[in-house]
Chains A and B, each alone.
Chain A
Amino acid sequence: MANNYEFTPEDLKEIETIKAKFPEVMPATLPTLWVAQRRFGHVEPEVQHLVAETLDLPVSHVHGVATFYTQYYKEKMGKYVLDVCTTTSCQLCGGYDMLHYLENKLGIKAGETTKDGMFSIQSVECLGACGYAPMMQITNDVYVNNLTEEKLDDVIESLKADKMPEFESVGMPQHTERS
């Protein structure tokens, strides 16, 4: 398979450090896929081939691992991937409303990417932040909690200016009581 992707020397160095952590090379698959996703923004089949080649593992194994985890993007995604939670708590508190608001705002459906390649929207299952429902996660990274339409507008604006929202610490009731 002709490969258009290549790791930079820094990446290769990082991969070497990862490999050194494990007695065998197989467990290095996951972190190496992360290195690849950080570099290329996705782990398309070609990237999977590159990872397999770099680690000297069967491509089928890398493919199996990459497809097992939803956080690895198996196709090209927008620069910012908005994972809107639609599982029970968020659903009850308006998760779908938030999702549909985003869809209308960006003019795409869940699972699609905007034409300019800036945003992708995904409807995802529970991200474990039920206390701050409804919420979403941006590109496997920052959580945006207690979503409202206004808050979404702000987030989109700041992302358009390439500014990630700050991490918000939301205190749980028991914490507030104690303090």
Chain B
Amino acid sequence: MPEIFIDGKRYEFEGKPKLLQFILDNGKEVPFFCYHPEMSAPANCRQCYVKVGTPVQNRETGEYELDENGERVIRWFPKMQTSCSMEMTDGMVVHTQETSEEVARAQKDTMELILINHPLDCPICDQAGECPLQIQTYKYGPEGSRFEVKKVHKPKRVELGPRVTLDAERCINCTRCVRFTEEISETYQLTIASRGDKNYPITAPGMEFDDPYSLNTVDICPVGALTSTDFRFKARVWEMNQTPSIDITGGKGTNVDLWTRDNLVLRLTPRYNENVNTHWMPDEARMAYTKFNENRISRPSIKADGDNQIKTSWNNAIETFAEKLEAVKPADVLVLGSAHASVEENYALMKTFSTWGVNDFYFSPDVKEGFGDDFLLTDDQAPNTKGVKALGFSETSAEDLKAAIKSAKVVVLLNDELVDRGVLDSEDLKKPYVISLATNETETSKSTDLVIPITCIAEHAASYVNVEGRIQRSLPAKETKYTHRKLDLEMSEGRLDRYGTNFDNWVNEDNKVDCTPTWELMNNLGKRLGLSIQFGTSREIMDEIASSNSSFEGVSYEKMDDENGIQLTGMNKEEVSA
């Protein structure tokens, strides 16, 4: 097998990997800006310099020439090489900044050049704290600049498009954004305009950067040049908590990170998963965070007189729920699951009601024909269509659903905005007594008789099955009134969470929503109805599902965490049509 010597250590490799990627894959580091594993390597930032040499080989015999000590004679490349574009060959010898003063010096000088016109506005820059330029300047850069002349000024606050704002002065012209539009999203909307020290990325005149994936350029921008118009100046990176989760605005199950501060989700960024979304996510999915914060239902509410809902106590809500059920036969109750809710929530609902005597369970799929593309957007608007189906909920059309609601006396509706997305009319929900378990105040929740607040994906750990049959899970990112970051070991703790107290002025008790997970609600309801059901944590519920439902065989939270999601057997990409 071909071998390579990096900093005096021998590695074996296969194929023709590029040097920088190989170094990174082996847990070592070389600073870089313009390289991105998903895109071509133009080697224009010149930061990943390394010293490279190849052994001298006798052309006839193919043997390596040896010096007097019996060591291979190395012919060094006359100049430093950019490791991102350097193809590895057998016997190659590489020195990174770790073993070569020369390389360290070269990197430092390149950095000085890059920083010549870079404004020193880190204190007001959004990227500070997660800025490769900042980090690498600390690690490999010069202590100061020898340039005392005035820096070049370029346009600031350029609205490239509806979602991206450019600060051209901060740009180091790595062209990652330009290459993203050329190679990944293929909209060719960006280019580098002008030249020399005056250049910066921009759209063609009269054109907008309205690429449906435009915000990915903000993520890959190695400086603070491209910023999200929405997130700009909202929070410092180090004040936020990062929690892995899943996108719930589409069927793809894009892996995301939720960034929270004081129990508000402030932004979503893509999380790497080679099997689903790699490094990217659609802009569409980024605004989902508003649903986690705004218009949340806190405390149950009940229709008192006419159509007016008033807040009520949890006891009263459970009591009313149970009374309404006890007044009718199970056959008169219509239980609707939801593709917008997790596997665990749907399972808890189903198990409770089937124990009580309900036989049929339905859900209404949320598909927008023609919405999807070949990339990360799908026709399926719900994150868990395959999951609910696998649990045994049957798909129902709008007409059948209307008829079923008409003939039912009590309707139990799990988090699904049926009225808002046009499946039902609020008139349809008038006749039966409708109990909705919901996260947000919507037209649907307004048209129901009893609204019980449940946790959203940002508040519970639960799993979702994407259109490709891959089950992935979320982790709780924000506290509810009944959870505590320090007690729930699944919750991450940011700096402010750890060191803040309730008397800090950034802590706001109002951001905690008064809601419970569906399974806890079902526990309370079951207890009141005298059913022999008891749900533990969502982790335990998943174990229960895995042991009772063959579609979910072998699924557990541990395995999902280890493998970044599990491809369920018997579900493959071909049957995505639903």
Q: For B195, give the chain A residue with the smallest CB separation.
A: A68
Beta-carbon contact of A60 and B194 below 8 Å: no
Give CA–CA (A63, B209) in the complex, Å: 14
Beta-carbon contact of B206 and A64 below 8 Å: no
Beta-carbon contact of B205 and A64 below 8 Å: no
Q: For B193, give the chain A residue with the smallest CB separation.
A: A67
Is A136 engaged at the interface, CB distance under 8 Å to the other chain? Answer: no
Q: For B206, give the chain A residue with the smallest CB separation.
A: A1
Is A58 engaged at the interface, CB distance under 8 Å to the other chain? Answer: yes
Give CA–CA (A59, B190) in the complex, Å: 9
Give CA–CA (A125, B45) in the complex, Å: 26
A-side contacts of B195, CB under 8 Å: 67-68
Q: Mark B188-200, 1 if CB is under 8 A from A, else 0.
A: 1111111100000
Beta-carbon contact of B205 and A45 below 8 Å: yes
Is B204 engaged at the interface, CB distance under 8 Å to the other chain? Answer: yes
Closest chain-A Cβ to B395's Cβ sits at a distance in Å of: 42
B-side contacts of A63, CB under 8 Å: 191, 193, 202, 204-205
A-side contacts of B204, CB under 8 Å: 45, 48-49, 52, 58-60, 62-63
Give CA–CA (A61, B190) in the complex, Å: 8
B-side contacts of A67, CB under 8 Å: 193-195
Give CA–CA (A142, B194) in the complex, Å: 25
Beta-carbon contact of A68 and B207 below 8 Å: no
A-side contacts of B188, CB under 8 Å: 58, 60-61
Give CA–CA (A52, B188) in the complex, Å: 12
Closest chain-A Cβ to B192's Cβ sits at a distance in Å of: 6
Beta-carbon contact of A64 and B192 below 8 Å: yes
Closest chain-B Cβ to A50's Cβ sits at a distance in Å of: 12
A contact patch SS? helix
Give CA–CA (A62, B202) in the complex, Å: 12
A-side contacts of B202, CB under 8 Å: 63
Is B492 engaged at the interface, CB distance under 8 Å to the other chain? Answer: no
Is B89 engaged at the interface, CB distance under 8 Å to the other chain? Answer: no
Is B564 engaged at the interface, CB distance under 8 Å to the other chain? Answer: no
Closest chain-A Cβ to B6's Cβ sits at a distance in Å of: 37
Beta-carbon contact of B206 and A61 below 8 Å: no
Q: Mark A62-80, 1 if CB is under 8 A from B, else 0.
A: 1110011000000000000
Is B203 engaged at the interface, CB distance under 8 Å to the other chain? Answer: yes
B-side contacts of A52, CB under 8 Å: 204
Q: For B189, give the chain A residue with the smallest CB separation.
A: A60
Q: Mark A32-70, 1 if CB is under 8 A from B, else 0.
A: 000000000000010011001000001111111001100
Closest chain-A Cβ to B427's Cβ sits at a distance in Å of: 47
Choose from B189, B190, B194, B205 the contact partner of A48 (Cβ within 8 Å).
Answer: B205
B-side contacts of A58, CB under 8 Å: 188-189, 191, 204
**Most-contacted residue by chain A among B188, B202, B203, B204 (CB, 10 A):** B204
Closest chain-B Cβ to A177's Cβ sits at a distance in Å of: 39
Beta-carbon contact of A45 and B194 below 8 Å: no
Q: Mark A124-136, 1 if CB is under 8 A from B, else 0.
A: 0000000000000
Using a CB-CB cutoff of 8 Å, which residues 539-575 of chain B contact chain A?
none
Beta-carbon contact of A60 and B206 below 8 Å: no
Q: Mark B170-192, 1 if CB is under 8 A from A, else 0.
A: 00000000000100000011111
Give CA–CA (A64, B202) in the complex, Å: 9
B-side contacts of A68, CB under 8 Å: 193-195
Binding site for A on B (CB under 8 A): 181, 188-195, 202-207
A-B contact pairs, 6 of them (CB 8 A): A45-B206, A49-B206, A60-B181, A60-B188, A60-B203, A63-B193
